[in-house]
Structure 1
């Protein structure tokens, strides 16, 4: 027991024993600074210094951008940016796919080539065609009243030419003789209208110019996009007055009649109408005379 007490006193004496730390001038041995230290003071001071250093490091990592330089650490801001970029990437992929499909349609219009399934789509309904002899064609009372109402409305309707009830008034792009009609079996999805060279070519309706360039086959070409997915195509022009992105009004001059392109046979306008990717006969909606 006595030995334990003696050992404790010895440890206490060593911890509290005073030491003097002196800083001297090397040449004159003049005392500059001196400190009175003990092992306990050194231990406590060192511990406090280490705690303060750890606390300061923690604060720097938690509240400054330095934490981003720690390998494997990912900040909340970076996670948010990564999430936003992921959503933007998905949106860009969808937009790119839509744009590619749109460009494929424009390319198809320029080449005048469409799938047979589109051209021959009417044959799909052939099997469902009704035999008129089996149908009672006598109008009922309600049908007669409806016909009279429609006839009255048409009598005072100034705008007779509409497509699928989209209320589009279609102007004639040029006036002249039809040199070649709409012949889908021969892959001629247009009407060719002869006209005097440099005659103005007008927009058939309000729309946006989505293509206005030179092509080797059909010369100067301009394509307008109208309401409801309707496209109007003007080929073999002598010059173009509007460019891609321009907004045009119905009846506004967009080009001039010419004889440009490899497949031209003289001054004329090669005019096409496309309804949601399907060619339609312009003569059903426009009077070129």
Structure 2
């Protein structure tokens, strides 16, 4: 017990033992500054200096731009910018996919190629074809009431056309003789209307010109996009009066009759209508006489 007490007193004595730190002039040995220190004072002072240095470094990193120079540390602003760029990249990818699909539809309209369509309509119709002998064709009460309502509405319907754009009225692009009819079996998805050279060609409805260029096969071609996915196509024109991006009104002159392109047989208008990427017979909607 006495030994432990003696050791404690010895340690305390060493910690509190005073030392003198003197700074002398090397030439004259004149005393300039002197400090009275103990081991305990040195330890406490050193510990406080280290704590202050750590605190100051933490403040510099947390509240000054110096933190951006630390490897692996990114600022909140940079993280926000990275997140925004990620969202913009995803949006651009979606827009690019939509644009590629849109351009592919335009290519199909120009070439009249439906063989690469993802849906084979004939196979779909064949799959869901029903044998009439297996169906009860006797009308029920609800069917009779519906037929009566439809018949009443048809009395006041000026147009009995199978068209999905019920609020869209189509004007004839030209007046003339139809020289070749719409024939999907021969992949002729248009009507050819003969007319005198330089006869004005008019827009069938209000829309925006999405294509107005020269092609080797069909000469001067102009395509107008109307509302609800309806496209009107004018081929073999002698000249074009509108450019891509122009807005046109219904009945406005957009081109003139010509005989351009390798596949032409004389002055005429090759006119097509496409509804949501599918060809339709223009004669169902327009009277060219």
**TM-score after normalising by structure 2:** 0.79
SS of 1:147 mapped into structure 2: helix
Distance in 2, Cα, partners of 1:162 & 1:141: 22
Number of residue pairs matched? Answer: 282
Aligned to 2:201: 201
| Distance (whole Å) between structure 1 residues aligned to residue 207 and residue 87 of structure 2 | 32
Kindly indicate whether residue 176 of structure 2 is the aligned counterpart of residue 180 of structure 1.
no
| Structure 1 residue aligned with 2:56 | 56
Describe the superposition over 1:42-81 as per-residue Cα deviations: whole angstroms up to 9, x where unpaired.
2111101111122222333334454454444566555555
After superposition, give the CA deviation of every residue in 1:179-204 in whole Å (9 maximum; x if it has no partner).
32212222111112223333322211
Q: Residue 111 of structure 1 aligns with which residue? A: 111
C-alpha distance in 2 between matches for 1:242 and 1:64? 59
**Once the two structures are superposed, what CA deviation does each residue of 1:88-127 show, in whole Å capped at 9, x if it has no partner?**
4444333333322222111111111112865747963894
Moved more, 275-284 or 1-10: 1-10
| C-alpha distance in structure 2 between counterparts of 1:233 and 1:25, whole Å | 102
> For the structure 1 residues 142 and 2, does the alpha-carbon distance in structure 2 shift closer, same or farther, using more than 3 Å as the test?
closer
Q: Please give the alpha-carbon distance, in whole angstroms, between the structure 1 residues aligned to 2:238 and 2:246.
A: 19
Superposed, which structure 2 residues align to 1:276-287 within 5 Å?
276-287=276-287
Say yes or no: does 1:93 pair with 2:100. no
Shift of the alpha carbon at 1:251? 1.4
* Ranges in structure 1 where 5+ consecutive residues have no aligned partner: none
Decide whether the 8 Å contact of 2:217 with 2:261 is kept in 1.
yes
Q: How does 1:68-83 map to 2 (within 5 A)?
A: 68-73=68-73, 81-83=81-83
Q: Secondary structure at the match of 2:209?
A: strand
Please give the per-residue CA displacement for 1:200-245, whole angstroms capped at 9, x wherever unaligned.
2221111122222222222222211112221111122233333333
| Corresponding residue for residue 242 of structure 1 | 242
The 3-state SS of whatever aligns with 1:35 is strand
Superposed CA RMSD in Å reads 3.5
Q: Which of 123, 126, 135 matches 1:124?
A: 126
- State the SS of the aligned residue for 1:251: coil
Instruction: Indicate if the aligned counterparts of 1:162 and 1:168 stay in contact, CA closer than 8 A.
Output: no
Q: Give me the whole-angstrom Cα distance separating, in 1, the residues matched to 2:151 and 2:123.
A: 30
Is 1:147 equivalent to 2:147 in the alignment? no
Could you tell me whether the CA contact under 8 Å between 1:119 and 1:184 is conserved in 2? no
- 1:43 corresponds to 2:43: yes
Residue 169 of structure 1: CA displacement?
0.7
Change (3 A) 1:121 1:33: same
- Aligned counterparts of 1:97 and 1:244: Cα–Cα separation in 2: 21
Q: Determine if contact 2:165/2:228 at 8 Å carries over to the other structure.
A: no
Q: Which moved more, 1:121-130 or 1:195-204?
A: 121-130
Aligned to 1:168, what secondary structure does the other structure show?
A: coil
Q: TM-score, normalised by structure 1?
A: 0.79
Residues 257, 66 of structure 1: CA spacing in aligned structure 2 closer, same or farther, 3 A cutoff?
farther
Alpha-carbon distance in structure 2 between the residues aligned to 1:56 and 1:46: 15
Deviations 1:117-148 (A, max 9, x none): 657479638944858xx9679x9687456534
Partner Cα separation in structure 1 for residue 128 and residue 16 of structure 2: 111
- Cα distance in 2 between the residues matched to 1:202 and 1:106: 21
Alpha-carbon distance between aligned partners in 1 of 2:59 and 2:247, rounded to the nearest angstrom:
59
